[in-house]
Structure 1
Amino acid sequence: MWAIKALGSLVFSQEQGAGQTASLLQLPLGCFNLITPSNTKNSRECLFVQAAATIQRTATPHNYQLVISRLYEDDHEADLAAEDDDRIDDEQAFLIDEALALTLVHTDSSAATTTRSANTSANPYARKVKPQRALSWNDPGDETGSRRLEFVIDSSSNDVTVKMFETMLYQCMFERKYGSNDNGMDVELYIAQQKGIIPGSTRSANTTPLAAKSMARLMSDASTTPGSPASPLAHKTPSKAPATLASTPTPLKKPLPGGLAGTPSSSNTSTPVKQTSAQPPRMPPTSALANATSLIKILNAPLFLYDIRICQFCLMNSSVTVELVQPKPYIFHLLITEDKKPILSQQIEERMNPVFNREHQSFVWVYIEPDTGNMYSWSIKFPDSPSETAFKDMMAKCMYETLHKEAFGKVKQEEQRYLIDAYEEDTLMTDAFAKLGVNDYMDDQDESDDQKLGDDEQEEEEEEEPVDDNDDGESEYDDVAGPSSSKGHKNSQLAVGYKYDRSFVVRGNRIGVFKHTDDNKLQFATTIDNVRDLSNRTFSPRKVMLHEQDSSMLVMKPGESHNIYRMDLERGRIVEEWKVDDIVPVDTILPESKFAQLTPQKTFIGINHNSIFRVDPRLSGNKRVDNETKQYATKNDFSAAVTTGKGELAVASKKGDIRLFNKLNLRAKTHLPGYGNPIIGIDATADGKWVVATTKTYLLLIATVTDGGESGFQKPMGGQKPTPRMLKLKPEHVAWMGVEVSFTSARFNTGEDAVERTIVTSTGPYVITWNMKRVLKGFLNDYHIKKYADTVVADNFKYGKDDAIIVTLPENVEMIAKNKLSTPQRLLTPQKMKNRNSIVNSPF
């Protein structure tokens, strides 16, 4: 007991450090592994070949974190790692809490270990040391609780140091749980319980769910569950409870301090303001579901709720019944009950952001509280794989009928699987590799030093000041601009130049011009003031497109659907007005081909809700080319379109479907059915082998090549359509963000000689990227994020680059390095931000 008191005094006695981050104790060398259980044995993946483990005090009183830091042998190794797109962050932090189930174990040094590093063919660390002891804990990022993390301690650390480190971990848990460490005997007893030396251990393989009476009180507004008959699946599902996850986090018994783990709630600007409690939300009444038809029922499923403060799922109930019910035509509800008492009722809709994981047999979704708008992420784990598959299929059908208002049975048989399988999040796109070639997306990843965005060491030392939307630049601009200025307007559109390294930002009736510098920053160049038509009437452009080697800009005027204006960018004013057609309107325009912007090409393409046509300004009178027009009799609700490098055309609609054309005046070669969500933007790779479509809540990545290597632009794909992949934010991350997902149009990086490696989009104040190489491997959740102080209006890559992104905010414009985006896990912890010298306050 004396030893424990002495160590506690060393760690916890300095009250003046309670609000500061400080290192307390360190194991200087070890190996950091991820352990994934399988049917036969545990599979180890080496995350950091060499690493250090440190216990650190956080800024929140009585809270500490275990930090695992990657170590490099030399600067060259660090540089190679920095160029690897697949690398995880060099520092991983874990809040020290009972939920981690930390323990000191002995490992088998001969166990096979794979390595994540692309630059290391084997694990050299296994040859340098003979690991015996290891710290093991739950992986907070795994909602199922089945994966563990492991720090294998190097033999150079003596027994005393290891013992002291272990004891300090338990002391940190004790102080976090009880808010003090005054009673040495209590600490000693607590440590003995944690180690299992004496009975009464708080760690248990079977996690205790919330008390039934607590759940009943929280759900007091819910009435009795509908007594609908069980579906056939319910009889096939085993009635016994599934095996309990051995490392499932324990429900919190004591409220945590405000804010995120390890950060002060008052100062962390990235902390969401919505969800503030680990307790479940109040659910709406279920009386309306009393006579609903039960479509599918799953028995004995554990129910989890994501706690944003410790960034992991907590078990709320070990055995619930999960149903999909239909109270009215095309209206469906998710209903969860315990002993026929309702726990959760939620109408099926796109904001649920549903995600299924075949490997973990789990379903995760977002719940938005109707009255408050608070967002929560729930999860259930299915008893077996057939239950997960059947529930996923039924959920996809319900979602389709909700959005289309028509029976799923009307969909062609060959297209039903196409629509259902996209909801699976962990599918390796092996067919895509065979069609596109592994080398195109796997091996060509090295970049020269002159392409890197600054020295890594210097960037780490830079700090970013918060962007002030009320910067003096705006008032100075408005004073100079005079009464006809765009005062009060915000940035609304972004057009990126291909030819002359310029970006154009629309702000009211003005267009700001920004130069791309050699060091990948933006420099304000000039302003095109007071955009006016040929009748000298000022207007704010609703659509702009660069044209004729970036010497012209095509402009569309609000309220006019038949005219297009050409602006001479050298003169900075509109010089021509073209009447497209007297009857056929034009809603949006796009280039003749993906790189037509680099050529003197005069013609371009226009679309409206049911027509696609070529526009030729050289024609006398109306500019629409009659014999190159495809008009549909029915209203297809076309909403967006894109061309490939060959001029092939992909047209998307508000119904969610996509048509692939190789000529304008012919029928589409391929029709890709939609999920019902309106498509707001679409982009394609230069070779046309990939299309990414953007809806409000997800991106749809589609391969346009059949198993036989035929392009869907040139030949109907029929039943050979590859399964699309939904790229979406994990529901738990949506709950953490606290804002509804609303994506901007996603884009590939582009360039005549570039390989499309990255997809960029944004939602709210967040810029998000997906790595194509990782997506094609099936890692759909490996996205990176950067948060801003304001909503992102538009974003796109610098032409010819995939490592520089231009971001337009309501008041500012910035070019950022792609490596400045973080993994969601890293974003949850405080970190340095870069200098704002690359931000241009752009009231122009």
Structure 2
Amino acid sequence: MFLLKSLSNVIFGKSDDSLVQLQSGQLFKLDPNNPKAPRELVFRDATATIRRTSTPHNYLLVITRVYEEGEEQLGKKPSGGDEDDSEDEADLFDFSVKDEQTFLLDQVLRLRRLGKSSGPFAFIWAELTGDRSGSWEFAVDASATATQVTLFEETAISCMWERQTGRPQDHAGDEEMREFAAKVRKMGEEPVGARSAKPFSTPVKSRPQLVNVSPMSLSTPQRPQPASPFATPQSPSPMSLTNTTANSPSTAEDSPVSIPVVETPEGDVLISVQAELYVWDARVNMYCIVRNNTTAEIVQTEKFEYCLIVREGENCYIGQPIDPTMSPSFSNEHQSFIWVFTDNEGRPLQSWSIKFLGDGSAAGAFQTVFGKCMYETQNRELFSKASKDDQEYVVKAYQEDVDMEDAFAGARSDDEEEDERMSEEEQDQEDEEDDTRGAGEVGTKNSQLAVGYKHDRSFVVRGNRIGVFKHTDDDQLRFSTTIQNIRSLDGKTFSPQKVMLHDQDSSLLMMKQSDEHNIYKMDLEYGKVVEEWKVDDIMTVDHIVAENKYAQMTPQKTLIGINHNAIFRIDPRLAGTKRVQDQSKQYATKNDFSCAATTGKGELAVASSKGDIRLFNKLNVRAKTHLPGLGDPIIGIDTTESGKFIIATCRNYLLLINTEIRESDGDLGFQKPMGSKKPVPKRLQLKPEHVAWMGTAVSFTPARFNTGEGDEKSIITSTGPYVITWNFRRVKQGKLYDYSIKQYNDNVVADNFKFGQDRAIIVALPENVEMVTKNKLQTPLKAMKSRSSIVNSPF
């Protein structure tokens, strides 16, 4: 019945006083008898917590004021301990607590929730002391999800039920609790004090927050971990709960947490191993044991459909379809498998892990079967049809701790130390923001971003307009002009669907929806289309890419075009159609080519919606190397200038591939076939516990390396409202979770580094454009204090 039903024992069985918490919001006092201030702000920043009392079956709603660092002389860093070990720990003390309002959770509060499936959310309840004509409102921060707010509401109702009946909540039958919840909600609909004071007249500012509504919420991604991220059964677990699951074979002592039993999926068991089951607990920043003697199985339920099962005897605790939304990863070091658990609508709820028992062979066997099942689920074809080399390539992609490049292992380089020192210095500087406003086109949103290499300009497409922004020396954006009403040569207005800078950034090549044969060239000095190139009368062009990685900085005229099964050179100097006939490669079968990228030498990497990648050293020949896909469509691809590394973007993860052929003299897969010496691809993905915190499925934008002279240092992408950068140097050492993050109030449309360095990032949002320095991307814990400072788009 309740969302709480699946987590009730986890919530009510927790060993500390707090059951559930909404981490951020504002507290208001509503007073209808005060016309000058019917809605008075009491706490500007506050948390809402449901706590136990010393009296059984009695609970408190506690609203706690939160001070920011500098607002009060609080939050001092604790003395003692090593400085390095407490670097991120210090952030825990940046917010200090003072002042509380407490309310006994009883029906007479007439607690009412505002906002159902989408925000903004708030809770209103009656004032039961003093002037009883008033009431209270907790306006929930916009970062909280509907699931988190629902869990808070249902926990409050269950607490009221316990007080009313004097019985533990797990004794309530479904019908009894349903009737009680309806009664509470009906009481909440009755007028209370100043309910007519329009409680949402003052919006709550949204900011990146950790909303700790359950033990499965997020911790900081880069906080130093213990030697092992797992709490052992012998250690006092912060989630030690009373075991109340029916027919459970474990005792409270050897099974710390009681979790609900689910229906066991039926099918053929492919593998069965013994394991311990863990869940992520943000309070201690580690996975804590919930069952220490379970069986983990992979079951085939239908053709090409598989399910992960974790059970203890006849009790099944997890039955989850295997698909990419799991964000799966295997760790050799900890002999473990970690993944995200999602609800029926695909929303991440929590992060689970199993730690394999035995001599270590079980982990390898389980990973092999899991990789096979994921491949067949995505490709809808038998894994056995792939070659042995390709099978190994696919399976190893789910392993997290393998160095990408042995040369980068060991101590950090001097320039890496210098980069970190400079970053710390930049962190102390105040960024000046250039906010330039102008008229926006009604009903349209920003859709594409093109960053200049030759000149310090960025171009943002919005409908049939293009906004031009100048990059300043202090890493800011300044609005320059708007190119209005883009028209083809016949005078018809259109909205560009794909754009690419060309010919020393003097022109912008554009493609038009429903026009698969032509490319439009805009002269940026005049701001209008001056040429239309018909590529071919029959062959379509779906995507275009520069002749080489930095061709747009040169007078280079030719470029590369691709469609679903062909690759060809385009030369606009040709008379008639522009496709170069003898520099074209067309496949007989549909390969579903989806994107392409070129190296500094003009070598070509072409990816497909089937997930595979082909490497070419020139056109009109077969690919030198064919890298098999994991089954997920590739929506973006980029290469380093040398071509040694490729970053391919799938919806839920990035795939990093080293193209250097093992045991060779530095030859790359662009130049020679890799054959059996294919590399171990590395999946770059968000930690499962971070995905659970975000509360929404991952959907990456095309990832890119930073550009300019010297080796690439960073990778950038985004998902939803989050911009994410990986430290490429650390990734090559096998540190796959070395990433930073920044949250915005809206989904990110496109992002890229400023040319020449990886310090400044251009971010396009639906309504805004911003350049942000990389030191403003933080761990989620630090992001709690940050405010979004967006430059309004002036076109």
State the alpha-carbon separation in 2 of the partners of residues 639 and 351 from structure 1. 21
Asked whether the 8 Å contact 1:422–1:726 carries over to 2, the reply is yes
> How far does residue 386 in structure 1 lie from its aligned partner after superposition?
1.5
Q: Which amino acid aligns with 1:320?
A: T
1:580 is displaced (CA, Å) by 0.4
- Map 1:363-378 onto structure 2 (within 5 A): 363-370=337-344, 373=347, 375-378=349-352
Q: Does 1:423 align with 2:398?
A: yes
**Which residue type is aligned with residue 831 of structure 1?**
K
Cα deviation, residue 446, structure 1? 6.4
**What whole-Å deviation, never above 9, does each CA across 1:417-472 have from its counterpart, x for those lacking one?**
111111111112344649xxx99x94443669998798543439x9x9xx9xxx99
Cα pair distance change 1:776/1:346, threshold 3 Å: same
- Report the residue type matching 2:416 in the other structure: Q
Structure 2's unaligned 5+ residue stretches are 1-61, 103-209, 217-221
2:363 is aligned with 1:404: no
Q: Which amino acid in structure 2 is aligned with residue 409 of structure 1? A: S
Q: State which of 66, 82, 85 in structure 2 corresponds to 1:31.
A: 82
Residue among 694, 716, 719 paired with 1:737: 694
- The within-5 A match list for 1:92-131 is none
* Equivalent residue for 1:749, pick from 706, 709, 721: 706
- Is it true that 1:445 corresponds to 2:416 in the alignment? yes
Could you tell me how far apart the structure 2 residues matched to 1:425 and 1:599 are?
A: 40
CA contact (8 A) 2:215 2:282 kept: no
Aligned partners of 2:245 and 2:260 also within 8 Å: no
Structure 2 match to 1:570: 525
| Residue 390 in structure 1 maps to residue 365 in structure 2 | yes
Q: In 1, Cα distance between the equivalents of 2:635 and 2:571?
A: 26
1:659 aligned to which of 594, 604, 614: 614
* Aligned counterparts of 2:86 and 2:421: Cα–Cα separation in 1: 29
Aligned to 1:580, which of 513, 518, 535?
535
1:208-287 equivalences in 2 (<5 Å): 211-214=242-245, 283=262, 285-286=263-264
CA contact (8 A) 2:447 2:461 kept: yes
Give the counterpart letter for 2:355 in structure 1. K
Residue 118 of structure 2 corresponds to none
The answer on 1:533 being equivalent to 2:488 is yes
CA apart distance, 1:210: 5.1
Question: Compared with structure 1, are the counterparts of its residues 646 and 208 closer, same or farther at alpha carbon in structure 2 (3 Å cutoff)?
Answer: closer
- How many residues end up aligned between the 2 structures? 613
1:389 is paired with a residue whose SS is: helix
In structure 2, the partner of 1:334 is: 308
SS in 2 for 1:667: coil
Distance 1:417 1:359 in 2: 20
Deviations 1:677-713 (A, max 9, x none): 0000000000111100000000011011112121111
1:447 to 1:547, Cα distance in 2 relative to 1, 3 A: farther
* Alpha-carbon displacement from aligned partner over 1:315-344 (angstroms, at most 9, x marks no partner): 322222111000211110011112212211
Matches within 5 A, 1:142-153: 143-145=229-231
AA paired with 1:728? Q
Q: Which residue of 2 aligns with 1:302?
A: 276
Please give the alpha-carbon distance, in whole angstroms, between the structure 1 residues aligned to 2:523 and 2:684. 39
Q: For the residues of structure 2 that align with 1:640 and 1:428, how far apart are their CA atoms?
A: 27
CA distance in 1, matches of 2:769, 2:723: 13
Aligned-pair CA distance for 1:831? 1.9
Return the letter of the residue paired with 2:590: K
- Between 1:15-24 and 1:779-788, the stretch displaced more is 15-24
Q: Which amino acid aligns with 1:794?
A: A
Alignment counterpart, residue 498 of structure 2, candidates 540, 543, 560: 543
Measured after TM superposition, the shift of residue 308 of structure 1 is: 5.2
CA positional deviation for 1:410? 1.2
Q: Does 2:657 correspond to 1:702? A: yes
TM-score (norm 2): 0.71
Quick check: 1:313 aligned with 2:287? yes
| Aligned with 1:612 (options 567, 576, 586) | 567
Q: d(CA) in 1 for partners of 2:436 and 2:426?
A: 31
CA distance in 2, matches of 1:138, 1:443: 23
Change (3 A) 1:421 1:573: same
Aligned to 1:520, what secondary structure does the other structure show? coil
Distance across 2 between alignment mates of 1:546 and 1:281: 56
- Judging changes above 3 Å, is the alpha-carbon distance between structure 1 residues 327 and 56 closer, same or farther for their aligned structure 2 residues? closer
Whole-Å separation in 2 of the counterparts to 1:16 and 1:366: 31
- In 1: Cα distance, 2:91 partner to 2:343 partner: 42
Q: Counterpart in 1 of 2:457?
A: 502
Distance 1:315 1:790, change over 3 A: same
- Match of 2:643, SS state, is coil
* Cα contact 1:748–1:757 (8 A) shared by 2: yes
Q: Residue 527 and residue 210 in structure 1: after superposition, are their counterparts in 2 closer, same or farther (change >3 A)? A: same
User: What displacement does 1:20 show?
Assistant: 3.6
Which letter maps to 1:720? Answer: K
SS at match of 2:621: coil
For 2:448 and 2:617, the matched residues in 1 are separated by 29
Partner letter of residue 144 of structure 1?
F
Q: Percent identity?
A: 51
What is the CA distance between 1:642 and its match in structure 2?
Answer: 0.3
Q: For residue 817 of structure 1, what is the amino acid of its counterpart? A: T
Specify the alignment match of 2:746 in structure 1: 790
2:792 aligns with: 841
SS in 2 for 1:364: strand
SS of the residue aligned with 1:561? strand
> Does structure 1 residue 361 correspond to structure 2 residue 335?
yes
**Matched residue, 1:192:** none
For 2:227 and 2:695, the matched residues in 1 are separated by: 18
Of 581, 588, 591 in structure 2, the residue corresponding to residue 636 of structure 1 is: 591
Q: CA–CA distance in 2 between the matches of 1:449 and 1:351?
A: 34
| Distance change in 2, residues 1:336/1:563 (3 Å) | same
Determine the structure 2 residue equivalent to 1:647.
602
Cα distance change on mapping 1:490 and 1:843 into 2, 3 Å: farther
Partner of 2:142: none
Go from structure 1 to structure 2 and tell me whether the alpha carbon gap of 1:614 and 1:808 turns closer, same or farther (over 3 Å shift).
same
Distance 1:448 1:98 in 2: 36
2 CA distance for matches of 1:612 and 1:490? 32
Amino acid at match of 1:797: F
User: What secondary structure, in the 3-state scheme, does the structure 1 residue paired with 2:439 have?
Assistant: helix
The 1:563/1:336 distance shift into structure 2, 3 A limit, reads: same
- Residue 59 to residue 307, structure 1, CA distance change in 2 (3 Å): farther
Match of 1:682 among 637, 645, 648: 637
Among 779, 785, 791, the residue aligned to 1:831: 785
Structure 1 residue 23 displacement after superposition: 3.7
Q: CA deviation at 1:312?
A: 4.2
Q: Distance between the aligned counterparts of 1:372 and 1:773, measured in 2? A: 33
Residue 557 of structure 1 corresponds to which residue in structure 2? 512
The answer for the alignment partner of 1:86 in structure 2 is none
- Report the Cα distance in structure 2 between the residues aligned to 1:306 and 1:702, rounded to whole angstroms: 30
Are residues 534 and 53 of structure 1, via their aligned partners in 2, closer, same or farther at CA, if it must alter by over 3 Å? closer
Counterparts of 1:813 and 1:570 in 2: how far apart (Å)? 22
8 Å CA contact retained: 1:703, 1:722: yes
Q: Per-residue deviation at 1:571?
A: 0.5
Unpaired runs of 5+ residues, structure 1, are 1-14, 34-45, 64-92, 100-116, 118-136, 148-202, 218-238, 252-278, 479-485
User: CA-atom RMSD, angstroms?
Assistant: 3.9
**AA paired with 2:287?**
F
The Cα of 1:774 is off from its aligned counterpart by: 0.7
